[in-house]
Amino acid sequence: SKGHALPDLWSGLIYYVVFLFSTTVHEAAHAWAAMRGGDQTAYHGGQVSLDPRPHVRREPFGMVALPLISVVLSGWPFGFASAPYDPHWAMRYPKRAAWMSLAGPGGNLLLVLASGVAIRVGSLAGVFAAPEAVTFDQIVTASTSGAWAGIAFLASVFFSLNLLLAIFNLIPVPPLDGSGAVPLFLDDATTSRYQQFVWSQPALAWIGILIAWQIFPLLFQPLWLFVVNLVHSGVHYG
């Protein structure tokens, strides 16, 4: 109905803003870790930055067009982004490249931690309360009406969306970050063969995404519930 169209649109736009910021943090973390590891490619591209503009310039479709279209159609942002790196550097320093891969999800986990702390502080201050049942965008509710209801929604979306980005990207299949972290667990010879195999088979990216879409729902719900229960003291959701 028309009465619900505006709130739904506003919530979708809030989702998009959180997605844009969270994706920017993710890619900036990749770029920063690569720079620290000796690869200046993303640094020279301006991506060691929390300004979304250099990241949007690299992936305008994945960071703006596709997520906004998906927000209008489904209420959820769906998109993608990337940070450039030198593959020759990654071949020469596979462990550094692996830490670069983990840095992106690590940035999202820091945002999960920050929003979780904000929720706990708000609960201790009496402005937030534990809901009867938790959903993706209702980790916490406001104790009073007004602006706090919007802040509770924002904190919940930050918490859940960043946990989603971290867990999804850590699935160890190409082209996800978890695949890039695999060399941390391999010896040098096996790492070299692994990298050459992954980079020489572009179709693996499509296969990997299909596998990740199948695995992700099995991983996310129990992990999300576990972390939500850590945020709330004296309340258990199951």
Select from 15, 83, 80, 70 the least CA-distant residue to 43: 83
Extract the runs of DSSP E, i.e. beta strands, from 65-159: 128-129, 141-142
Cβ atoms < 10 Å from Cβ of 175:
17
**Distance of alpha carbon 129 from the chain centroid:** 26
pLDDT in tens, the chain (238 residues): 333 334 588 899 999 999 999 999 999 999 999 999 999 999 999 999 999 999 999 999 999 999 999 998 888 899 999 999 999 999 999 999 999 999 999 999 999 999 999 999 999 999 999 999 999 999 999 998 889 999 999 999 999 999 999 999 999 999 999 999 999 999 999 999 999 999 999 899 999 999 999 999 999 999 999 999 999 988 999 8
Select from 80, 113, 114, 83 the least CA-distant residue to 100: 83
Helical ranges in 51-137 per DSSP H: 52-58, 60, 66-74, 87-92, 94-124
pTM: 0.94
Residue 182's pLDDT is 97
Length of the chain: 238
Give the three-class secondary structure for 115: helix
